[in-house]
Amino acid sequence: MNKITWRRSKRRLLVVSNRLPVSIKSSEGRREIRPGAGGLVTALAPIVRNTRGVWIGWPGCELTPEVLELIRNYNIEKSFDLQAVNLTEEEVQNYYLGFSNEALWPLFHDLLGQCMFEGVHWEVYKNVNRKFAEKIVEAVQPGDLIWIHDYHLILVAHYLRQMNVDHPLAFFLHTPFPGYDLLRRLPWKDRILGGLLDFDLVGFQTLRDRRNFCRSAKELMPELYIKAFYRHSIVRHGRREIKVGNFPISIDFSEFNDGAQIEEVEREASFLRNKCQSRSLMLGVDRLDYTKGIPERFLAYERALEKYPELRGNICLLQLAVPSRSHLSAYQDIRETLEWMVGRINGRFSEFGWQPIQYIYRSVSRTELLGFYRACDIGLLTPLRDGMNLVAKEFCASTVDNNGVLILSEFAGASEQLAKGAIMVNPYNREETADAIYRAYKMELEERERMMTVLRSEVKRNDIFRWVEWFLSSFREHEREEAASEIHPNNSKPVNDRVESSIMESIKSGGGGSYTDD
């Protein structure tokens, strides 16, 4: 954790997300609390703890006295400060399952056909965002920095401003951000864009997302002044300046690199290879979601088996589909579709002792997941649209022998960083993806090692700790710029000088990865 210099700050960090960084499970009639997993929790939890900060979110269940007691005990035991927002069943249905996941989620992933725009969902979404803001007001102290995460909480800054909170406010969107032609379909687009402009710093995953936001804001509010620089843009909204940047999130490289080499993982990988009895194992790992392009992936694989008979009996696709939002009809439909497709493709191509697809619909342990990564020499990750796709980075970090090939969708946010070492495909192009599968299968070891070395170097250099430090450094830089603008309110030249200076500071401090210049 010494990679994060922010922990030396005396200022508290308040992290606000839809869910708390813990999970509350029922076991043998009793509830227990467990630390959450994932790169964001790994990177931010120590900073919150070391600055004596706060993490605010929904615990994922009703806030009963038993749950409150679990959280209190966890805070004491872990020297942490989790503060829970209580949501009613109606709020969960309308704010979370409704507006967040049936309006914003598909819209932000360019899938307009999946969108449902319901007025009652929008009203509850606003009310819950206000509820989160009220919780922040209860917890905040002078000098705190407030960092809010993801599409569930876009309006929180708006309500904090109404409550006269003048603390610096930052926001990071983990999903993509759509172009204006899609965004304009949202009946409340002006409120969503206005909500984002109430923050001081707004972070996106990619340069494309940043540009989409700036262009959409300009379309709706032509009076905005927007200046684009290499690492970020400055949006002048009235008397305020909003810094808008692209900060591609990452993983803890060492956790996956080291974990993939333990004996238990190696045994798991060996078991999978023996069970599948194929020369080459190809892996897909996704939440079961219509944005992940799994049906399109299956059709491309089927085309590869048709077009290249050499693959039959020699390659096996291991598809792990992790259950997600299973009570929504769209997710039930895609599960039924995938199970039907697996049966049809296996029925068509299976031979004695070999099946083309091994399909698993369940959650897996960390050891099992690492075993999948180690066992497979091809990663087939082809989302129709993805904010980042951290699985691609996890696969690379876990391929410790460098004998692996990544096939990656050009519509994954990770493509901006990983394109130089991956085989890039358009997931809608069945022929192109089929050809990519065959190319990966036939690739010589020397080329595999060269390409995977590039990928692993990129992921290692730009890990989750660098991402956090870069984002928080931008936070600090923006505060300095705002203070300077108050000293020189009528001088426009220092604004540009300050921005160029902050770019150099960001580069010198190690921020950034592989990006395209404006």
Element holding 455 (H helix, E strand): helix 445-461
On the CB side of 168, how many CA atoms lie within 13 Å of its CA? 23
Question: What is the separation of C-alpha 122 from the centre of its chain, rounded to a whole number of angstroms?
Answer: 23
On the CB side of 375, how many CA atoms lie within 13 Å of its CA? 29
d(CA 51, CA 53) in angstroms, rounded, equals 5
Q: How confident is the model at residue 233, as a pLDDT?
A: 95
d(CA 271, CA 490) in angstroms, rounded, equals 69
174 is a catalytic site residue: yes
512 φψ region: left (φ > 0), alpha (ψ -120 to 50), beta (else): left
DSSP per residue, 395-461? HHHH-TTS--EEEEETTBTTHHHHTTTSEEE-TT-HHHHHHHHHHHHH--HHHHHHHHHHHHHHHHH
SS (H, E, C) 201-253: EEEECCHHHHHHHHHHHHHHCCCCEEEECCCEEEEEECCEEEEEEECCCCCCH
Q: Which residue has the tokens 């897909």?
A: 284
Q: Active site residue: 109, 152, 174, 478, which one?
A: 174
**What does each C-alpha distance from 51 to 8, 134, 202, 394 come to in angstroms?**
8, 22, 22, 29
Nearest alpha-carbon partner for 212 in 90, 387, 372: 387
Whether 372 contacts 283, CB under 8 Å: yes
167 is a catalytic site residue: no
Residue 503: how many CB atoms within 10 A of its CB? 17
Per-residue pLDDT of the chain (518 residues; tens, 9 = 90+): 345 444 445 689 999 999 999 988 877 678 888 888 777 888 888 889 888 999 999 999 888 899 999 999 999 998 899 999 999 999 999 999 999 999 999 999 999 999 999 999 999 999 999 999 999 999 999 999 999 999 999 999 999 999 999 999 999 999 999 999 999 999 999 999 999 999 999 999 999 999 999 999 999 999 999 999 988 999 999 889 999 999 999 999 999 999 999 999 999 999 999 888 889 999 999 999 999 999 999 999 999 999 999 999 999 999 999 988 877 788 889 999 999 999 999 999 999 889 999 999 999 999 999 999 999 999 999 999 999 999 999 999 999 999 999 999 999 999 999 999 999 999 999 999 999 999 999 999 999 999 999 999 999 999 999 999 999 998 877 666 666 555 544 443 333 333 333 322 332 333 333 222 22
Name the packing angle between helices 445-461 and 390-398 (round to 10°): 120
Whether 414 contacts 389, CB under 8 Å: yes
Q: How confident is the model at residue 477, as a pLDDT?
A: 74
Q: Active site residue: 150, 200, 386, 435, which one?
A: 386
The dihedral over CA atoms of 450, 456, 460, 462, expressed in degrees to the nearest 10, equals 90
Work out the end-to-end distance of the chain between its first and last CA atoms, rounded to an integer number of angstroms. 33
Whether 144 contacts 11, CB under 8 Å: yes
Whether 36 contacts 16, CB under 8 Å: no
Nearest alpha-carbon partner for 123 in 169, 187, 193: 187
Q: How confident is the model at residue 276, as a pLDDT?
A: 86
Sign of CA dihedral 518, 384, 116, 17: negative
Residue 329 DSSP label:
H
Q: How confident is the model at residue 30, as a pLDDT?
A: 80
Whether 204 contacts 210, CB under 8 Å: yes
Q: How confident is the model at residue 231, as a pLDDT?
A: 86
Residue 343: how many CB atoms within 10 A of its CB? 12
Going across the sheet that includes 405-409, the strands are: 357-361, 315-322, 280-287, 378-381, 405-409, 423-425
**What does each C-alpha distance from 508 to 246, 267, 501, 503 come to in angstroms?**
17, 43, 11, 9
Angle at 409 between CA 251 and CA 280, to 5 degrees: 85
Say if strands 240-246 and 357-361 run parallel, antiparallel, or are unpaired.
unpaired
Q: How confident is the model at residue 484, as a pLDDT?
A: 59
d(CA 233, CA 197) in angstroms, rounded, equals 13
d(CA 317, CA 357) in angstroms, rounded, equals 5
Domains of the chain: 5-86+134-246 (3.40.50.2000), 255-460 (3.40.50.2000)
Q: How confident is the model at residue 278, as a pLDDT?
A: 87
- What tokens does 363 get? 């959650």
Residue 185: how many CB atoms within 10 A of its CB? 13
Contacts of residue 306, defined as CB under 8 A and 6 or more positions apart, other chains included, come to none
Phi, psi dihedral angles at 25 (to 5 degrees) = -115, 150
